[in-house]
Amino acid sequence: MECGLSVASAPPSHFPARSNYLSDYLLRMNAMRALCHPVLPSFSSSTRSPTPCRRRLPTFSAAPHRRADRWILAAAPEAMASTQPWTAQEQEKAKEAKLWGGRFEDSVTDAVERFSESVSFDKALYKQDIMGSRAHARMLAHQGLMTVSDRDSILHGLDEIERRIEAGEFVWRMDREDVHMNIEAALTDIIGEPAKKLHTARSRNDQVVTDLRLWCREAIDKIVASIKQLQVALIKLGLSNEGLIVPGYTHLQRAQPVLLQHLLLSYVEQLERDVGRLVDCKDRMNFCPLGACALAGTGLPIDRFLTSDALGFTAPMRNSIDAVSDRDFVLEFLSANSIAAVHLSRLGEEWVLWASEEFGFLTPSDSVSTGSSIMPQKKNPDPMELVRGKSARVVGDLMTLLVLCKGLPQAYNRDLQEDKEPLFDSVKTVLGMLEVTTEFAQNIAFNHARIQKVLPAGHLDATTLADYLVNKGLPFRTSHEIVGRCVALCVSRNCQLSELPLDQLQGINSIFKEDVYDFLGVENSVNKFSSYGSTGSECVAEQLSFWISKLQIGQTENEKTE
């Protein structure tokens, strides 16, 4: 375990011989427990009963080496190994750190502090939190709820906080619980009294959900852009393999011949629906909760439309209880992510199969492959295996949030603090899956010779032969039965349909004529497909033309339009 502290883990007999080896060992073990497992007991060489061990309250710092303050997560072992309980002064300091501490006489325990904090992960929302605070301050000044001078001080202070965060100079304190309290408390430290007016007509309940909606909007834009990059890569992969016919499968059994371009375009279409779901989700989430306060709104003369417009929302949310209590927009986002992840998983599964010796249809480059620690010959398509595997993680994030939300009464509940980690994980994972799938698509080669060698197997032209008989006037079910007999004859003679002599075909049914051979063989079979959206060459060319135009492939950046 990474603890930030070098502690020997061997039993006492492994330490250098000396008279106090046991006390030295116990000292080291207690230090490790205090750092890594602050709720574990410490041990004494004079007794075997555990004594309570409490670690002084840490917080999170972007530059932990710069401070030895016990409130900051310090790297110095001596700062983290203390097992002394809090002093009265420390308890008071913890209480004062709370911006809600007025009605409380005692501070929370350090165990509750650690368990309740969210700043370790919700600090990812700092940009959105500052953005919302800027809009809120401007609205309050516009409505006469603070002076222009106070507004300007707040805006200046927020700018400074943002600068410090991005420069790695900001100290995230766990005793300030979350991103909102950290920023507001830091603002008070910087500008003093004016900062105390910022939370007028605002609660963390509407503040956090506003931050989340802003964050999700940006995340959706990033995912959509990444999907577009993958779509372009798939189309370019198809263009570089023009005319290549591959077996199409149903039930993982050979079914009909298809153009590789047609197969790749099927994934492009699926990804486009993923884009549509994400865009729809963004449209539905683009309503502003800010000003809903805790749940009931406020009697102060605020203008929610002003903040909504400033933050780029469509409008304020109509119902203040709904505004703070529901996370359906996150559920919808994670649902769209999960469907996209499943699409990527299916593509990954196909390419993993095709890269195997049994198929041998494609070869990934060394840059997107890995080897084996024991088998020198191995070249594994690990990135696509991980794409397949990580889809389970994305679906799991959705399940986490569904279960989290299912039993919550109206309105806000602290359970909703747990919505962020699955959200952040889902977005990070999907972006990674898209990036590596795009790179894989750009670094594989299809083995034309291998594909052409094995393509005739499986009687892929059987359905086309049935169509031939339908064109001759036979009912399809009758045609199906006749072709089935033809296939059985091929199986018994170990040959292909195109290799059967005409007299043998006519021995099954006299309707067969010389023109039957225009329908046999995979090339002829593909060329006979003509329905809209089919695998016929002309149909696929139309599909490619549509996507090349839609995705503006081949155009320079100056030629591209929104």
pLDDT digits (tens, 9 = 90+) for 462-521: 999 999 999 999 999 999 999 999 999 999 999 999 999 999 999 999 999 999 999 999
Q: Going by C-beta distance under 8 Å and a sequence separation of 6 or more, which residues neighbour residue 400?
A: 418, 422
Separation CA 447–CA 456 (nearest Å): 15
Is residue 373 classed exposed, middle or buried when 0-12, 13-18 and 19+ CB atoms within 10 A define those classes? exposed
pLDDT digits (tens, 9 = 90+) for 69-100: 333 433 333 333 333 444 555 555 555 555 54
Does the predicted model carry a pTM greater than 0.85? Answer: no
Q: Tell me: pLDDT of 68 over 60.
A: no
Q: What is the DSSP letter of 253?
A: E
SS3 content of the chain, % helix, strand, coil (to 5): 60, 5, 35
Say whether 96 sits in a helix, a strand or coil: helix
Residue 296 token pair:
């009931």
Separation CA 195–CA 181 (nearest Å): 12
pLDDT digits (tens, 9 = 90+) for 11-51: 434 434 444 444 554 555 555 454 444 444 444 444 444 44
Residue 108 token pair:
């929370």
Q: Going by C-beta distance under 8 Å and a sequence separation of 6 or more, which residues neighbour residue 201?
A: 140, 145, 291, 293, 298, 300, 302
* Residue 23 pLDDT: 52
- List domains and CATH numbers for the chain: 1-85 (no CATH), 119-197 (1.10.275.10), 204-453 (1.20.200.10)
Neighbours of 229 (CB within 10 A): 18
Q: Which residues are catalytic?
A: 251, 372
Residue 107 token pair:
């501070």
**Residues 400 and 422 sit within 8 Å (Cβ to Cβ):** yes
Which segments of 298-447 are extended strands (E)?
315-316, 362-364, 444-446
Q: Going by C-beta distance under 8 Å and a sequence separation of 6 or more, which residues neighbour residue 330?
A: 212, 216, 401, 419, 423
C-alpha atoms less than 13 angstroms from C-alpha of 56 in its C-beta half-sphere: 23
Average model confidence (pLDDT) for the chain? 84
Separation CA 211–CA 199 (nearest Å): 15
- Mean pLDDT throughout 47-59? 40
Residue reference for tokens 């409490």: 54
Long-range CB pairs of 83-91 (<8 Å, 24+ gap) are: 83/30, 83/34, 83/42, 83/53, 83/54, 83/55, 84/54, 84/56, 85/54, 86/54, 86/56, 86/57, 86/110, 90/56, 90/57
Q: Tell me: pLDDT of 54 over 50.
A: no
Is residue 409 classed exposed, middle or buried when 0-12, 13-18 and 19+ CB atoms within 10 A define those classes? exposed
Separation CA 28–CA 208 (nearest Å): 41
* Residue 117 pLDDT: 83
CA-based max dimension of the chain: 104
- Mean pLDDT throughout 436-453? 97
pLDDT digits (tens, 9 = 90+) for 150-182: 999 999 999 999 999 999 999 999 888 899 999
Is residue 458 classed exposed, middle or buried when 0-12, 13-18 and 19+ CB atoms within 10 A define those classes? middle
pLDDT digits (tens, 9 = 90+) for 362-419: 999 999 888 889 998 889 999 999 999 999 999 999 999 999 988 888 877 777 778 8
Phi, psi at residue 253, to the nearest 5°? Answer: -115, 145
**Residues 264 and 274 sit within 8 Å (Cβ to Cβ):** no
pLDDT digits (tens, 9 = 90+) for 205-236: 999 999 999 999 999 999 999 999 999 999 99
